[in-house]
Structure 1
Amino acid sequence: MLRTILYVTTALTLMASPVLAQEPLRLGGEVTGELRSGDEQLSSGEFVDTYEYTGRAGQQIGLRLTSDDFDPYLIVRGPGDFSEDNDDASDDDRGALLNLRLPADGTYRVSATSFQSGERGTYRLRLVGGSIAMPQTSGSGGNDGAAQVQLNPGVTRGELDRGDQTLSSGEYVDRFALPVRRGQTYDLSLSADGFDPYLMVRGPGDFSEDNDDDPARRGTRDSRIRFTAPADGEATVAATSYAGGETGSYVLSLDGRGTRPGVARAASETTSLRLGETREGWLSPSDSRLESGEYINTFVFDGRRGQRLDLRLTSGDFDPYLAISGPNDFSDFNDDADGTTDSRLRVTLPADGPYRIVATSYAAGEMGPYQLSVLADTGPTRAEPASRPDERASAGGRITVGQTVAGTLGSGDETLDSGEYVDTYRFTGQRGQRVAVELTSSAFDAYTILRTPSGEQRENDDGEDGTDSRLETVLTEDGDYEVMVTSYAAGETGSYRFSVNPSRGSARQASVQSGARVFAVMVGVSDYGGAQNDLPYTDEDARKLGEVLEREGVLNPASVVLTNAQATVGGVRSAFARVAAEAGPDDMFLFFFSGHGDQADTAVSGVEPDGRSESIVLRDGQISDVEMSGLFASLHTRLSLLVLDSCFSGGFARNVVDRPGVMGLFSSEEDLTSAVAEKFRAGGYLSHFLRTGMAGEADGDGDHLVTAGELATYLRRQFVREVDDVESETADGQRNYQNLVIDRGGVQVDDVILRLAAAETVSRGN
């Protein structure tokens, strides 16, 4: 254990070194390197090479470091004080191995080093998506520690050989990870010349299926499994042989990206469409994406000059967005049609040639089935853009939110100091209103500048395709806003379309439902029945928080408040289980505690480097940080929030905020006490400011959404203002000051904690 702690300390010292060369590490790749004299060194003398990998929150990766020359040691450091080390992959394997779920977006530093100082030699470092199988101990069968590599649509070539893992019956096997979604259908086939192929699939929902010979192709030995996933999760696909000991190369194919039964897939590559055809498709995570995050399916239509088309895109699962482009720089697009969220475009083609039709969504990340129809437009001819009623505004004039205008940048326009031509528009906005400012042009690289009534300025260059401009923002004040429509480079001219429309925010924000979506267990103990000294107001902290959430209309009736004699260990465990069982994937779970906290000596480890574990003190016992971690692991909610207003509460962050979707708020650092907030008649400062923040004071931009970033910012500011000089002390009497601890883990700043009651009316207002 002491060895591990020394490595933590030295690795942190190394990462601060400004002269360390850090090379990029690619997912699915392997690098060969060498530790040698002249390399960077840890302060304890070990040579080290460091690599960088840019990861995403919630991403599962596996790292494997092996060497024939020295005992390998892996060190990973990343955002939010993320820290993981490994010496030996197993009792019988000196190679180092780490399977990680990344807590946040950002850069992770992977250090390849040795267990002993001064060791040299070559090594191999591998990074894969998913997990790497743990090497087996002696007697468990052959295993080369191969990665369970993620299986992607298309063809994967591999080989069964005598160094592979084996099934218990002796067959060599390669395993692959396949992310699956409930209700989607997947088609797998395995073929080989040197052995009789055999496929196995194990997945979520206890799914299990094996196949020897493809039933649809008599006379072949190829294996095929077509299955529909019963639940979201990750399936394991095993490529093996019918008989033990068989070896040879194989081809494993995954047809497409998974479809609903009876729904044709629109491929990521372009697909032809004919006049009068209706195509059913599916937006899914395997599709191409726009830079702004929307999934996209692309089709090609062979059009004729003067041909009039009626294009329609409908879906019950997402807000459709339809676009077309073609010869002579022709382009048009549509979001909503006829008062619905469906998209419709009526266009007259300007020339013979191929036209690109794009089916996508209004917001990033939206998925689901759709219907795309290409019909002949037999209706009356529409007026040209100049006479459209929603394009009457002139440059320099006023527009309203929801209006689209057409204009032209020309040599007679005003110019910016840097030489770009500019048209200026003004609109009236309200604080909290969410808008999207969009400028599109096929003639120049669009650029917009937004100025608030008080003179603050926001700019945007590139939108979804790299040349259009789209700026989404929440208006921070009432009054007149000014938008300058211009180009990226000086002297550019040409026509454009400009709009200011209501916006629903990011895909994560738009998906958060209003209403009683907070499932909470709120615990406060003032009366300890003589087992501990009593505390003032801590029971009221729990009651008042429940009242605030109920008043705001967000507290689900399944929520529980436990105070004093009710707040037993058994009572809290039971309440947690009941409320957690009611909360679903669209809900937010909150565990709140105000009362005593405690510390106890424990073994020094990577989890408890100070040799002390923390706990909350209930009426008849304690719940430790380790047990709390297990409770939070049982949740399946959109977001989970742990709030502890108690002494030493910061120690819970390391154990609980270790998985995606969990955020922690703690009233003090892990070795310091917390004070009673007498001036606010509250058991603790965090309890008081949490209530006021969730009542709306944390809603900094006024859009009636309290996001993780807004709540964190509000609490920090209140602590600086009110708690800056509140003294605190350690368990052995060292004096310091009380400091708030916030750990967002993988929760992003714009993830919504609460959607307040008035959100709908404000976000749609003009």
Structure 2
Amino acid sequence: GTLNSRLTMPLTTPGTYRIVATSYRAGEVGPYELKLLTQRGDPQAAAAPSGGPEQRIEGSLAQGDTTLQSGEFMDEHRFEWPAGTRVHIEAQSSDFDSYLIVHPPSGPQRDNDDLRPGQSLDAGLDLQVDQGGTYRVIVTSYQPGETGSYALVIRGAPATTPTAPAQANGSGATPTPTPTPTPSPTPAAAPAGARTETGTLAQGDRTLESGEFADAFTMSFTPQSAVQIRLESSDFDTYLIVRSPSGHQEDNDDFAAGQSLNSGLDLPVAEPGDYTITVTSYRPGETGSYRLVVTEGPSVVAPPSAPSAPGTPAASPGEAGRVWGLFAGITDYPGSVNDLPECANDARKLAEAVRNQGNMPQSQEFLFTDAQATTANLRQAMQTITQRIRPDDVLVFFYSGHGGQTDSSSDPRELDRQDEYLLMHDGRMMDDELGRLFDGLNARVALVAIDACFAGGFAKDVITRPGRVGMFSSEEDVTSAVAGRFQAGGYLSHFLRLGINGEADNDPHNAILTVGELTHYTWRQFGQHASDVRMSMGYQHLVVDRGAVQTSEVLWASRR
């Protein structure tokens, strides 16, 4: 990450906008640069299209060059490109902050300042050539008066010799195309197996209540497949509306906000039935051509399968992801350690709830209760899972039992200088070691649920990489209560089980459980039934840490 800030917003109201530059903390000082971009590039700008050689044109901006009305020096290059070509353009310079402007034969210009904001000052964009003819490519600078050498790089277009108007001082630009054979121009191709619809928004089309022209398409998909929908246009600011068979609606304006005016939506798991896909514009009255591309991919959830015996190899790479489970609960502690009612049953019940969804075969379930819940068994199970789990699989890690803290931690992440631990039947499993056990795991999602005192302290050790979601029964300095009125060892255990059993599947209700549905359901149940649980160290609050996992991420589809 960086310390830079960025805000993208549609300017729908004319007038004066006040932009305030400030710091995150009081009293911070230093120089800064404020950039305003009034038009956005393409989300695929970082990818070089195939189908043509690379042309590299060396040039320089210098005193005496033609200037824009705003004072920046500029060089203009002209290219003849046929319709159907996809062209990638970059203006590279180590001497100045480059700015790129492209004028098509007709229609609005495209421009870009930074191809990769925060990483480079080079400009670039991708261009879908919908109309053949002469394209004017202007290399200029972000600020007036900047000078220096640059390279204009063109990829994907058939090799041509561009023309650059002579400059007053003779600097100009010298084309140096890469000496590669010239292939025939090829139209931009949709992904293999994609469904492509081309059309036009025009006067006389039906309109939405808000005044935008709209075209509607009815499509059905393979149930539980992953579907990608993209809407592209160089004529207007696209807007995409998708209504599912169950009536759930999703909208999108800019799929890559700040980079493109194209729209897009991803459906992680398609429902059976007909979808209505509406192509429209961001503002009323916009017209022009568009292309709608819909692609189906493999499901992210596992196909139904018969239970397999322990030791069965993991599913073949061609199959969709499956669910693995590690469940540990301790009620009967040895020696003088206080027993905890229902914690062993918490593990049994949660394992049963996940198993009943039909995605976790016996060979992928590890259940340890009471004397079986040892540090050695937990380590061995995590090692086995790490060796056999695949990148499209899901892991549910659950613990219900005693949790504790130790003083004098040397971990710089522990601001309170205390480490947390799970009290297993044979001793402590420290938070640092649990984090290391997760380090080798490569799963699509790892759901970590810990119902124990001080559980929130495990977040900084375990939720450290993409794909991990943490649900913890209390904050790191607060103990957790036994949920006696629900006949459960803890509130998290009870609400999590109910959610997995189907109560969380409600946005929409479609037999598909997402991370957002499960975490929101559990959070709401805590608010309704456990908001006033007062412990000696404070009120018990659920801690949810989704890391970099989006709420739309699918855990599984129920197969009951």
* TM-score normalized by the length of structure 1: 0.43
Q: Report whether the alignment pairs 1:749 with 2:551.
A: yes
Mean Cα deviation higher: 449-458 or 742-751: 449-458
In the alignment, structure 1 residue 581 sits paired with structure 2 residue 387 = yes
The one of the two structures with greater contact order (alpha-carbon pairs below 8 A, sep at least 6) is 2
Query: What's the CA shift for 1:618?
Result: 1.7
1:357 corresponds in structure 2 to 187
Per-residue CA deviations over 1:451-503 (Å, capped at 9, x if unaligned) read: 7899986544456995665445589999998765544455455666778x685
1:523 deviates by 0.9
C-alpha deviation, 1:669, in angstroms: 0.8
Corresponding letter in the other structure for 1:677: A
Cα 1:579–1:531 shift into 2, 3 Å: farther
User: Could you say what secondary structure the match of 2:188 adopts?
Assistant: strand
Matched ranges for 1:71-86 at <5 A: none
Of residues 404, 413, 420 in structure 2, which corresponds to 1:607? 413
Give yes or no for contact 2:221–2:273 (8 Å, CA) kept in 1. Answer: yes
1:519 to 310, 321, 324: 324
1:558-597 equivalence runs, <5 A: 558-597=364-403
- The aligned residue for residue 350 of structure 2 is 545
Does structure 1 retain, via aligned residues, the 8 Å contact 2:302–2:320? no
2:52 counterpart (258, 271, 278): 271
SS of the residue aligned with 2:494?
A: helix
Structure 1: gaps spanning 5 or more residues? 1-21, 26-38, 53-256, 258-265, 273-286, 290-322, 330-352, 364-401, 731-735, 759-766
Structure 2 counterpart of 1:707 = 514
Specify which structure has the higher proportion of strand.
1
| Alignment CA distance shift 1:574-1:531 (3 Å) | farther
Q: Does the 8 Å contact 2:467/2:549 carry over to 1?
A: yes
Q: Give the alignment of 1:690-701 within 5 angstroms.
A: 690-699=496-505, 700-701=507-508
Residue of structure 2 equivalent to 1:635? 441
Q: Deviations over 1:714-750 (max 9, x none)?
A: 22112112211222222xxxxx221111122233333
1:40, 1:49 within 8 Å by CA — same for their partners in 2?
A: no
Aligned-pair CA distance for 1:527: 0.6
Q: Distance in 1 between matches of 2:461 and 2:519?
A: 20
How do 1:104-143 and structure 2 match up within 5 A? none
Q: Secondary structure at the match of 1:635?
A: coil
Q: 1:663 to 1:461 in 2, by over 3 A?
A: closer
User: Is 2:541 aligned against 1:739?
Assistant: yes
AA aligned opposite 2:545: D
Q: Which residue of 2 aligns with 1:717?
A: 524
Query: Aligned ranges for residues 359-758 of structure 1 at < 5 Å?
Result: 359=189, 361=191, 409-415=201-207, 420-422=212-214, 446-449=238-241, 458-461=250-253, 466=260, 469-472=263-266, 485-488=279-282, 490-493=284-287, 517-556=322-361, 557-603=363-409, 606-699=412-505, 700-730=507-537, 736-757=538-559
Give the distance between the partners of 1:355 and 1:50, measured in 2 at CA: 48
* Inter-CA distance 588–460: structure 2 relative to 1 (3 Å threshold): closer
Q: Secondary structure at the match of 2:187?
A: strand
| SS of corresponding position for 1:531 | coil
Give the Cα separation in 1 of the matches to 2:384 and 2:226: 37
Matching of residues 143-158 of structure 1 within 5 Å = none
Q: How far apart in 1 are the matches of 2:372 and 2:241?
A: 58
Q: Which whole-Å CA distance do the structure 2 matches of 1:512 and 1:708 have between them?
A: 24
Shift of 1:593: 1.0
Asked whether the 8 Å contact 1:409–1:494 carries over to 2, the reply is yes
Q: Compute the displacement of 1:617 (Å).
A: 1.2
Whichever residue aligns with residue 738 of structure 1, its letter is Q
Determine helix, strand or coil for the equivalent of 2:550: coil
Query: Secondary structure of 1:532's match?
Result: coil
Q: Secondary structure of 1:357's match?
A: coil
Aligned residues: 396
Q: Contact between 1:602 and 1:611, CA under 8 Å: does it hold in 2?
A: yes
Deviation per CA, 1:435-459, whole angstroms, max 9, x where unpaired?
7666666765544455789998654
Q: 1:476 & 1:360 partners in 2: Cα distance?
A: 20
Q: Letter of the aligned partner of 2:336 in structure 1?
A: A
Q: 1:596 to 1:572 in 2, by over 3 A?
A: same
Decide whether aligned partners of structure 1 residues 645 and 426 sit closer, same or farther in structure 2, where only a CA change above 3 A counts: same
Deviations 1:279-320 (A, max 9, x none): xxxxxxxx989xxxxxxxxxxxxxxxxxxxxxxxxxxxxxxx
Q: Identify which range, 543-552 or 451-460, moves more after superposition.
A: 451-460
> Would the alpha carbon gap of residues 703 and 356 (structure 1) be closer, same or farther in structure 2, given more than 3 Å must change?
farther
Q: CA deviation at 1:639?
A: 3.1
Query: What is the CA–CA distance in structure 2 between the aligned matches of 1:508 and 1:636, rounded to whole Å?
Result: 16
8 A contact 1:443–1:494 mirrored in 2 = yes
- Aligned AA (2:358): G
Alignment check: 8 A CA contact 2:243 2:249 kept: yes
| Partner secondary structure for residue 271 of structure 1 | coil
Displacement after TM superposition at 1:508 (Å) = 11
For residues 213-252 of structure 1, the aligned pairs below 5 Å read: none
Offset at residue 664 of structure 1 (A): 1.8
Q: In angstroms, what is the RMSD of aligned CA positions?
A: 5.0
Aligned partners of 1:532, 1:740: CA distance in 2, in Å?
Answer: 25
Larger mean Cα displacement after TM superposition, 410-419 or 635-644? 410-419
Contact 2:246 2:510 in 1 (8 A): no
Aligned equivalents of 2:238, 2:231: Cα separation in 1: 6
Q: Which amino acid aligns with 2:519?
A: A
| CA shift for structure 1 position 572 | 2.7
Deviation sequence 1:518-543 (CA, Å, 0-9, x none): 23221111011333111111101111
Identical positions, percent = 40
CA distance in 2 between partners of 1:444 and 1:434 (Å): 28
- Note the C-alpha offset of 1:574: 3.0
Cα distance change, pair 528–408 in 1 and its aligned pair in 2 (3 A): closer
Q: Deviations over 1:145-200 (max 9, x none)?
A: xxxxxxxxxxxxxxxxxxxxxxxxxxxxxxxxxxxxxxxxxxxxxxxxxxxxxxxx
Q: What secondary structure, in the 3-state scheme, does the structure 2 residue paired with 1:358 have?
A: coil
**Aligned residues of 2:271 and 2:510 also touching (Cα < 8 A):** no
CA distance in 1, matches of 2:438, 2:454: 19
Once residues 564 and 354 of structure 1 are traced to their aligned partners in structure 2, the CA distance between those partners, rounded to angstroms, is 71
Contact kept? 1:448, 1:483, Cα under 8 Å: yes
Gap regions ≥5 residues in structure 2: 7-21, 34-45, 54-86, 90-126, 134-182, 304-315
Equivalent pair of 1:432/1:477 in contact (CA under 8 Å): yes
